[in-house]
Amino acid sequence: MTLSDYFLTSLSNIRKNRLRSLLTIVGVAVAIGALTSMMSFGIGLQGNFNEAIKKNRLISKITVLPKESDGKKLPVTDSIITIISKIDGVESVFKENRIPTKIIFNNTDKNTTIKTIPYTFNKYFTPGCYLAGGHFESDSSHSLIITESFIKELVKNSDSTLKDNIEKIDSILPTLIGTKITVSVITIDMSIMSNMFTAMATLMSNKLPFRDSLITFTISGIVELGTMSDFGTGVYITETVAQKIPQMNFENIWDLLDKKDVSMVQAATVYTTGIKETESVTQQIKNMGYNARSILDEMKELKQLFYIMDSILGAIGIMALFIATLGLVNTLIMSIYERTREIGILKSLGAGNWQIRKLFIIEAGCIGLIGAIIGIPLGWAVTELIDAILFSTLFRDVQEEIILFSFPWFLIIGAIIFSTIFSILAGLYPAVRASKVDPVKALRHE
């Protein structure tokens, strides 16, 4: 018998016992559907994570923070930034100051944090990051980049008719480019603090020696939240403009009384030329005594987490497939009893034990293959249903695209191969049992 003869004979036997074979195939299909849908969830989460890293160039980003050493704070200064910029593999490095502010827009206000970035940082903003407008007009212009979620909150609070009309808010975002917006920062009122008696009188009257400084900006661009992996930042301005904004450069009363180094910055951001350089540059900065963090540190832990999650989801799916193969074993054993006379005839015509085993093994493989072909679309349909339910309920207000389930080709092909091989393994016992049938007794079997 040729291989095609084995396949045709196996399919013919499956058709003879339609109900039993159908139930077995359905069991395998459900198991494969469960396995692929669970694995696709893990793959989808990893895909979202990898896409975010690629989009925001997180793989080449290092954050440098001050470090406590022997009870003394080791600040990040301009001179340290200059030294870091000369390290091999560093593409660019800049200050990362954050300014607590209040943004005023159309008679409404909201607190946020402004982050300072260089004017040349436009090369790190991919074209898809901008939902409207573009980069700063110039290095010294009073223009700002604002996040989508933050401007939407301002718009909704300033106009109650837009509160629940997300689509209308999206449509007016481009019209906000060029709009004036006011930034309010709290500063020390030196007219009070310069006079000791005035300062004491102010404090004794339960008032604070602070005042609001108002600066007018123009919106130049609107970006997605987390474009620079800064989910607590609502507004970006250039370093040059930030230097002109009055700020309280102290963390406690002792910083206020002492002469604090004006060149000290809160943190620095370093961009490297690649993943290998990120590892070496991070280590060199740590050797300088500073805290240096990169996404690589978190990726190691996340990869382990994804591996554990995929293993758990895969194990549940494999258990379902194992239960389905028990039904397959039962189907083939019942087939042996029903085809005992047929096996005897084949052996009397010269068929060897291996040929008999091959016949049942291929039949088991065919059941697994058909079950996989049906199960994969079934698993995909289930994930689409779950997607529709989640995005109409829990994720109804999420604006950016999130892929919860992913069916790459390697998952589809792997599921088909895995189901076929698993079914073949399940068919080994019935196949061996069928090959041991005595042809003489089999021919007498009714």
According to the 3-state scheme, what is the secondary structure of 48-109? HHHHHHHHCCHHHEEEEECEEECCEEECEEHHHHHHHHCCCCEEEEEECCEEEEEEEECCEE
Question: Does residue 198 or residue 440 have the better pLDDT?
Answer: 440
Task: Find residue 269's DSSP bridge partners.
Answer: 63, 94
CA separation for the pair 280, 285 (Å, rounded): 9
pLDDT bracket for residue 159 (50, 70, 90): low
Contact 313, 41 (CB under 8 A): yes
Question: What stretch of H or E contains 105?
Answer: strand 98-105
Between 272-276, 300-304, 355-359, the lowest mean confidence (pLDDT) is in: 300-304
Distance, in Å, from the CA atom of 110 to the CA atom of 97, rounded to the nearest integer, reads: 20
Q: What are phi and psi of 384, to 5 degrees?
A: -65, -40
DSSP H or E stretch at residue 420: helix 409-426
> Does position 389 have pLDDT exceeding 90, yes or no?
no
Residue 115, Cβ density class (10 Å: 0-12 exposed, 13-18 middle, ≥19 buried): buried
Check if the beta carbon of residue 1 is closer than 8 Å to that of residue 350: no
Place 208 in a pLDDT band, splitting at 50, 70 and 90: low
Q: Please list, in sequence order, all residues whose beta carbon lies within 8 angstroms of the beta carbon of residue 253, skipping any fewer than 6 positions away.
A: none
Average pLDDT over residues 188-207: 54
Of residues 330, 305, 336, 324, the one with CA closest to residue 419: 324
Overall average pLDDT of the 299-322 stretch: 79
Q: Quick one: average pLDDT of 140-169?
A: 75
**Mean pLDDT estimate for the chain:** 77
Percent of the chain with pLDDT over 90: 4
Sheet holding 291-294, edge to edge: 90-95, 268-272, 61-65, 291-294
Q: How far apart are CA 391 and CA 384, in angstroms?
A: 11
CB 405 within 8 A of CB 41: yes
Highest mean pLDDT among 195-209, 257-271, 300-314: 300-314
Exposure pattern of 51-85 as b/e (b: 16+ CB <10 Å)? eebeebbbbbbbbbebbeeeeeebebbeebbeebe
Percentage of the chain modeled with pLDDT above 70: 76
Task: State the Cα–Cα distance between residues 110 and 104, nearest whole angstrom.
Answer: 7
pLDDT tens sequence across 171-186:
778 888 888 988 888 7
**pLDDT digits 0-9 by tens, 111-154:** 888 888 877 776 666 656 778 888 888 888 888 988 888 888 88
Work out whether the CA dihedral 390, 396, 402, 407 comes out positive or negative: positive
Q: Which residue has the tokens 């109804």?
A: 396
Give the torsion through C-alpha atoms of 349, 352, 357, 363, to 10 deg. -40
For residue 25, pLDDT over 90 is answered with no
At 163, the pLDDT band (50, 70, 90 cuts) reads low
* Weakest-pLDDT range from 16-30, 257-271, 378-392: 257-271
pLDDT score of 370: 92
Q: What is the pLDDT of residues 211-247, one digit of tens each?
A: 677 888 999 988 876 665 565 678 888 888 887 776 6
Average pLDDT over residues 87-108: 83
pTM check: above 0.85:
no
Residue scoring higher pLDDT (250 or 103): 103
Nearest alpha carbon to residue 170 among 387, 364, 397, 409 = 397
Average pLDDT rounded to a whole number, residues 432-445: 73
pLDDT of residue 253: 42
* Cα gap 28→49, rounded to integer Å: 32
Q: Please state, in angstroms and rounded to a whole number, the distance separating the CA atoms of residues 165 and 159.
A: 11
User: How many residues are given for the chain?
Assistant: 446
* Residue with token string 């191969």: 417
Per the DSSP assignment, residues forming a β-bridge with 99 are 114
pLDDT average, residue stretch 421-430: 87
Instruction: Name the pLDDT band for 262 (thresholds 50, 70, 90).
Output: very low
Quickly tell me which residue has 């206020």 as its tokens. Answer: 256
**pLDDT above 60: residue 399:** no
Instruction: Judge whether 220 and 136 are in contact, CB under 8 Å.
Output: yes
- The whole-number average pLDDT for the span 57-83 is 76
**pLDDT at residue number 378:** 92
Among residues 187, 204, 175, 294, which one has the least CA distance to residue 250?
187
- Looking up tokens 């540190």 gives 297
- Report yes or no: 287 and 109 within 8 Å, Cβ to Cβ: no
Q: Is 65 in a helix, a strand, or coil?
A: strand
DSSP class of residue 136? -
The residues that bridge with 98 in the sheet, in sequence order, are 115
- Three-class secondary structure of residue 55 per DSSP: helix
Tell the burial category of 26 from Cβ atoms under 10 Å away from its Cβ (0-12, 13-18, 19+): middle
- The mean per-residue pLDDT over the stretch 379-391 comes to 86
Pairing of strands 108-117, 235-238: parallel
